[in-house]
Amino acid sequence: YAKRRGKNRLERYTHEIVAGRRRTLELTELLRESVEHGFENFELYYQPVFNMSRQVIGAEALARWSCAKYGPVSPAEFIPLLEQSGLILPVGRWIFREVLSTCVSWERDMSDLAISINLSYLQLQDESFFPFMLDTVKESGADPRHIVLELTESYLAANMDRVAQLLTDTRRSGIRVAMDDFGTGYSSLGVLKTAPIDIAKIDRTFVKGIQSSTFDSAFLRLVVELCGVLGIDTCLEGVETEDEFDAVRSMSLSYIQGFLLGRPLPAEEFRRSFLLQS
Question: For binding to ligand C2E (CB under 6 A), which residues are involved?
Answer: 47, 62-63, 74-76, 79, 95, 118-120, 150, 180-181, 204, 237-240, 257-259, 264
Smallest gap from residue 99 Cβ to Mg ion (A):
13
| 150 lines the binding site for Mg ion (CB under 5 A) | yes
Would you give the DSSP letter of residue 273?
Answer: I
- Nearest Cα residue to 62 out of 122, 102, 111, 35: 102
Which one of 21-29, 106-114, 142-150, 222-230 is the stretch in contact with Mg ion (CB under 5 A)?
A: 142-150
CB 261 within 8 A of CB 50: yes
Smallest gap from residue 203 Cβ to Mg ion (A):
5
CB 201 within 8 A of CB 185: no
| 257 lines the binding site for Mg ion (CB under 5 A) | no
Residue 76 interface partner, choices Mg ion, ligand C2E, none, CB cut-off 5-8 Å depending on type: ligand C2E
Instruction: Let me know the angle formed at the C-alpha of 181 by 240 and 71, rounded to the nearest 5 degrees.
Output: 65
**CB neighbour burial string for 11-41, b if at least 16 within 10 angstroms, e if fewer:** eeeeeeeeeeeeeeeebbebbeebbeeebeb
Smallest gap from residue 60 Cβ to Mg ion (A):
6
Q: Which is nearer to ligand C2E, 227 or 237 (CB)?
A: 237
| 153 lines the binding site for Mg ion (CB under 5 A) | no
* Dist. CA 132–CA 143, nearest whole Å: 16
- Nearest Cα residue to 180 out of 159, 204, 160: 204
| 198 lines the binding site for Mg ion (CB under 5 A) | no
Smallest gap from residue 29 Cβ to Mg ion (A):
27
Q: Which is nearer to ligand C2E, 144 or 238 (CB)?
A: 238
Q: Which is nearer to ligand C2E, 127 or 229 (CB)?
A: 127
| 181 lines the binding site for Mg ion (CB under 5 A) | yes
Which one of 33-41, 45-53, 194-202, 244-252 is the stretch in contact with Mg ion (CB under 5 A)?
A: 194-202
* Dist. CA 239–CA 207, nearest whole Å: 7
Q: Which is nearer to ligand C2E, 95 or 197 (CB)?
A: 95
Which one of 28-36, 111-119, 166-174, 192-200 is the stretch in contact with Mg ion (CB under 5 A)?
A: 111-119
State CA 3 to chain mean position distance. 47
CB 248 within 8 A of CB 220: yes
Site mask, Mg ion, residues 36-75, x = CB under 5 A? ----------------------------------------
Answer for which of 34, 56, 89, 180 binds Mg ion (CB under 5 A) is 180
- Residues whose CB falls within 8 Å of the CB of residue 180, separated by 6 or more in sequence, listed in order: 118, 150, 151, 152, 153, 201
